[in-house]
Amino acid sequence: MRRIRRKKNQRKRTIYLILLIGILLLLLVIAGRFLSPEQYGPDYNEKKLTPSIQHLFGTDYLGRDMFARTIKGLSNSILIGTLAAGFSACVALVLGILSATIGGLVDKIISYLVDLCMGIPHLVLLMLISFMMGRGLRGVIVGIALTHWPNLTRVIRGEVLQIKNMQYVKVAEKLGKSKIQIAFQHILPHVIPQFIIGLILLFPHAILHEAGVTFLGFGLSVDTPAIGIILSEALKHIATGMWWLVFFPGMMLVMVVMMFDQLGEHVRRLLDPSSARE
Amino acid sequence: MLLEAQNLTFGYKKERRIIDDVTLSIDRGERVALVGPSGCGKSTLSQILAGYIKPQKGMVLWEGKPLPKKGYCPIQLIYQHPEKAINPRWKLGRTLTEAWQPDPVFLEEMGIEPAWMDRYPIELSGGELQRFCIARAMGPETKFLIADEMTTMLDVITQAQIWQLMLQQIEKRQMGMMMVTHNEALAKQICNRIIDFQQLNL
């Protein structure tokens, strides 16, 4: 009895954690949406202030409130991440399933594309695509969407191949189940958790790459409040002792990335029956 | 003849045939044991007979006609490892009713407790899972069972229990049966004909 009760608590705790992280991230996005441009715009009366109650993260050399800029930047990052990771994950799901079920030439071509994309350093490819698309928001989104599918495609292809050869799938065939029934009853439920977890774990990648490519100057334009811009600007001023310009935005970026990572990990625990008892 | 195998030939590699020109037939009401050393191709033969593998030459006839390629197969195979033959993501009730709806009397005869229906496969033992595999394969359209080392990994008491259940059902429903085993004593106890695989596969 006691063991069963503890198990339920563990599952409940996982669900609460997922809800908590989800709500925090959602709040961040909503807060960012509703910030008015004045709040993160320049105010020359309040330049280079250290962190205080009024300006939690201090202000920069143009008197912009860093807290508001960071929130706005993260909110943008998450939205970019949603678009790019969602697109990437859907591409991966379709290509992975096609590759494993049709096989033959289709499988060879898809596997070759995966190897090709994985062979080129990620950031270089991202910079190239972003540059080609004319930088800016569009460049970053397209770049991230087009470079994040190969890993998940490989995972899903492998999963489908493995499940197709399981004894219980073959038994189902002999019990008179059609290919479509097997795909929906056996294969898809097995791949969907992988897909959801893969999707969530793509977020931190997408966000970090967005920040990275922007930091290097191939991403969002200089006046948009983005973590990459904030960090690259702050780097010029760190020598003058303005540590808060790097510290707080950097911390927030790491925290958001870790929150997504934890979200993925907990969803995995919830969806996988064999680790549900841990 | 119920089940006939005509000149079956099969090999995983081209130059080495595991099953070479095997012909055998099993009649209604017969219980046949296939014995032979490890790795000689007994499991492969039973998979061919149940339609899981296509032979390179020869054919399997069921009541004089080739086995159906699609739809419910009248010959059902029960594997050695039940934990591999059951979807780990499904609760056992769903696995059991994948092909047909067994009635409570049958389940009681099979020793399946109603409380197990809501559990996941990792929560039951091998012997308990094997009962589900057998019950799942016992649909009304099943006419012949092939048990490939069905109880080899179970302890002696569970082995005896499961075979008792099997024999009871087979006799009740007039099914044919073929078992694959190393255990000749078990084969003599259960079957009325014993086939030495090596003599069959010269």
> Quick one: pLDDT at residue A278?
46
Contact present, A69 and A222 (Cβ < 8 Å): no
- Which chain B residues are Cβ-neighbours of A177 within 8 angstroms? 98-99
State yes or no: pLDDT of B185 exceeds 50.
yes
Identify the residue among A174, A190, A270, A278 best suited for mutation to test binding to B, counting B beta carbons within 10 A and taking the highest: A174
Q: Which residue of A has its CA nearest to B119?
A: A273
Mean pLDDT, residues B82-93 taken together:
90
- Which chain B residues are Cβ-neighbours of A3 within 8 angstroms? none
CB contact under 8 A, A167 and B81: yes
Q: Which residues contact B8 (CB under 8 A, 6 or more apart)?
A: B19, B21, B22, B23, B45, B48, B55, B57, B58, B59, B60
- Which chain B residues are Cβ-neighbours of A167 within 8 angstroms? 79, 81, 84-85
Gyration radius of chain B over CA positions? 17
pLDDT tens-digit map of B122-135: 889 888 999 899 99
List beta partners, residue B75: B144
CA-CA distance, A174 to A171, in Å (whole number)? 5
Domains of chain A with bracketed CATH: 2-41+53-271 (1.10.3720.10)
CA-CA distance, B145 to B31, in Å (whole number)? 10
CB contact under 8 A, B72 and A175: yes
CB contact under 8 A, B87 and A168: yes
pLDDT tens-digit map of A200-254: 888 888 888 888 888 888 888 877 888 888 888 888 887 887 888 888 888 998 9
Which amino acid makes up residue B34? L
Contact present, B130 and B63 (Cβ < 8 Å): no
Of B71, B86, B89, the CB nearest to A190: B89
Mean pLDDT, residues B23-48 taken together:
88
Distance from CA of A167 to the nearest CA of B (A): 5
Contact present, A4 and A47 (Cβ < 8 Å): no
Q: Which residues contact B77 (CB under 8 A, 6 or more apart)?
A: A171, A174, B46, B47, B49, B50, B52, B137, B145, B146, B148
- Which chain A residues are Cβ-neighbours of B136 within 8 angstroms? 171, 175
Q: Number of residue pairs across A and B with CB atoms under 8 Å? A: 50
Q: Does the beta carbon of B73 lie under 8 angstroms from any beta carbon of chain A?
A: yes
> Quick one: pLDDT at residue A113?
92
CB contact under 8 A, A176 and B73: yes
- Which chain A residues are Cβ-neighbours of B88 within 8 angstroms? 273-274
Q: Which of A9-13, A147-151, A266-270, B51-55 has the lowest mean pLDDT?
A: A9-13
pLDDT tens-digit map of B145-161: 999 988 888 888 888 88
- CA dihedral angle for residue A265, residue A270, residue A275, residue A278, rounded to 10 degrees: 90
Q: Does the beta carbon of A167 lie under 8 angstroms from any beta carbon of chain B?
A: yes
DSSP alpha helix (H) spans, chain A? 2-34, 37-40, 66-102, 104-119, 122-132, 136-147, 149-164, 167-174, 179-182, 188-215, 227-237, 244-271
B164 closest CA partner among B190, B185, B145: B190
- Which chain A residues are Cβ-neighbours of B79 within 8 angstroms? 167, 171
- Which chain B residues are Cβ-neighbours of A171 within 8 angstroms? 77, 79, 85, 136-137
- Which chain B residues are Cβ-neighbours of A270 within 8 angstroms? none
> Quick one: pLDDT at residue B106?
87
DSSP at A83: H
Gyration radius of chain A over CA positions? 23
B48 closest CA partner among B32, B63, B59: B59
A244 closest CA partner among A88, A48, A108: A48
CB contact under 8 A, A190 and B99: no
ipTM: 0.87
Does the pTM surpass 0.80? The reply is no
pLDDT tens-digit map of A15-35: 898 999 999 989 988 988 888
Q: Does the beta carbon of A168 lie under 8 angstroms from any beta carbon of chain B?
A: yes
CB contact under 8 A, B89 and A189: yes
